[in-house]
């Protein structure tokens, strides 16, 4: 039997006034007369984001949710080129420790998914360097929470640049310039347009990176590959990880907008996958990437209670029978 644990991304639809992604544009920053006052406002926003993160984690705990993706927008303008002298970790230290303590006390799994502009296979050195800086911020945040950064940051391979093979090799070339601390943090995900499951497996096996299988992306971008033929290879990429196997689950919005995420998860599509992998792994953590966030998770769990092929464990996990 396989234990399935569900999680969701960043924002709660059930809580009000609890955004962990409040922000400030650089134009707004510049509109404040005194630079120090503008920086203090940035710090207040970041602290509010962490307060709301803690609210969400407590909401998750009350709902039996122990798997959650932190927003990458906790600290607005953290790596802006005009704010490189801002020591943003100092004013956040105590709050980060508080958030991390709660995560540890309740044995939660958390991770990040940096934005699409983080490109390790970029053709431009300045983009590659900016990507490392952004990854470094994620590393600092995890360390600030006293969380082991190993395999806490899922990324796409990057841009195809109209030459897929060369783009894959460029990832390998650039990987040598990624600090080992950041290398250990990274997981790779197959995407819905450029790099298929086998493309991503090529990198993961060569560089010893765990592969986060996105089922919806595979259905949108597979080049007639059968994911079932490569599932054991996916599992093998997780053998050296301290964390359970992770995947992403979402449903297409429509046939016409197949790549767009639906508000909710279609159970039949999900269970086609789960019945195929049942018994191949003891536990799999499934990150729901649906527009309705935690509401999508609750809706899915309510529908699962009507099935006779699962044993519901709690509000966010079940066992395949």
pLDDT at 130: 95
Cα dihedral 52, 55, 59, 64 sign: positive
Q: Are strands 283-288 and 245-249 parallel, antiparallel or unpaired?
A: parallel
pLDDT at 180: 98
Q: What is the CA radius of gyration of the chain?
A: 20
* Listed residue (179, 229, 185, 188) closest to 210, CA to CA: 188
134, two tokens = 């952004």
Residues near 42 by beta carbon (within 8 Å), at least 6 away in sequence: 24, 29, 75, 76, 77, 83, 86, 88
The answer to whether 65 and 103 are in contact (CB under 8 A) is no
51 φψ region: left (φ > 0), alpha (ψ -120 to 50), beta (else): alpha
> Per-residue pLDDT tens for 266-304?
999 999 999 999 999 999 999 999 999 999 999 999 999
d(CA 286, CA 228): 17
Structural domains of the chain sorted by starting position, each given as residue range(s) with its CATH number in brackets: 112-121+147-239 (3.20.20.150)
SS3 186: strand
* Listed residue (266, 274, 272) closest to 303, CA to CA: 266
pTM: 0.96
pLDDT at 247: 98
pLDDT at 192: 96
Long-range Cβ contacts of 116-123 (<8 Å, 24+ apart): 116/156, 118/155, 119/158, 119/159, 120/155, 120/158, 120/171, 120/174, 120/175, 120/178, 121/157, 121/158, 121/159, 121/167, 121/168, 121/170, 121/171, 121/174, 122/158, 122/159, 122/174, 123/159, 123/161, 123/170
d(CA 182, CA 195): 22
> Per-residue pLDDT tens for 20-75?
999 999 999 999 999 999 999 999 999 999 999 999 999 999 999 999 999 999 99
d(CA 251, CA 219): 10
The answer to whether 68 and 57 are in contact (CB under 8 A) is yes
> Per-residue pLDDT tens for 148-204?
999 999 999 999 998 999 999 999 999 999 999 999 999 999 999 999 999 999 999
The answer to whether 41 and 83 are in contact (CB under 8 A) is no
> Per-residue pLDDT tens for 200-236?
999 999 999 999 999 999 999 999 999 999 999 999 9
13, two tokens = 């639809």
pLDDT at 318: 98
> Per-residue pLDDT tens for 93-126?
999 999 999 999 999 999 999 998 999 999 999 9
d(CA 215, CA 33): 49
223, two tokens = 């080049």
SS3 207: helix
Average pLDDT score over the chain: 97
* Confidence class for position 249, pLDDT limits 50, 70, 90: very high
275, two tokens = 């019945």
SS3 116: coil
pLDDT at 47: 98
């Amino acid at each position: 039997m396989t234990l399935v644990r569900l999680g969701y991304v960043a924002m709660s639809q059930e809580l009000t006034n609890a955004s962990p992604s409040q922000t400030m544009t650089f134009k707004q920053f510049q509109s404040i007369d005194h630079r120090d006052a503008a920086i203090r406002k940035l710090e207040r926003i970041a602290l509010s984001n962490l307060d709301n993160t803690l609210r969400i984690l407590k909401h998750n705990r009350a709902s039996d949710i122990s798997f959650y993706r932190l927003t990458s927008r906790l600290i607005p303008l953290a790596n802006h080129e005009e704010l490189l002298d801002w020591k943003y970790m100092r004013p956040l230290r105590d709050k980060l420790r508080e958030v991390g303590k709660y995560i540890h006390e309740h044995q939660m799994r958390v991770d990040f998914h940096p934005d699409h502009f983080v490109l390790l296979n970029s053709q431009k050195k300045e983009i590659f360097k900016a990507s490392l800086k952004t990854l470094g911020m994620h590393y600092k945040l995890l360390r600030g929470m006293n969380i082991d950064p190993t395999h806490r940051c899922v990324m796409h391979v990057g841009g195809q640049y109209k030459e897929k093979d060369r783009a894959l090799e460029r990832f390998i070339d650039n990987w040598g310039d990624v600090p080992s601390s950041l290398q250990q943090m990274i997981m790779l995900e197959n995407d819905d347009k450029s790099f298929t499951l086998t493309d991503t497996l090529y990198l993961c096996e060569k560089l010893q990176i765990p592969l986060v299988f996105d089922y919806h992306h595979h259905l949108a971008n597979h080049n007639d590959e059968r994911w079932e033929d490569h599932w054991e290879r996916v599992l093998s990429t997780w053998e050296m990880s301290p964390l359970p196997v992770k995947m992403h689950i979402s449903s297409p919005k429509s046939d016409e907008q197949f790549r767009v995420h639906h508000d909710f998860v279609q159970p039949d599509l999900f269970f086609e996958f789960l019945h195929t992998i049942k018994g191949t792994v003891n536990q799999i953590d499934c990150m729901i990437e649906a527009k309705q966030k935690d509401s999508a998770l609750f809706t899915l769990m309510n529908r699962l209670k009507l099935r006779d092929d699962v044993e519901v464990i709690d509000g966010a996990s079940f066992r395949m029978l």
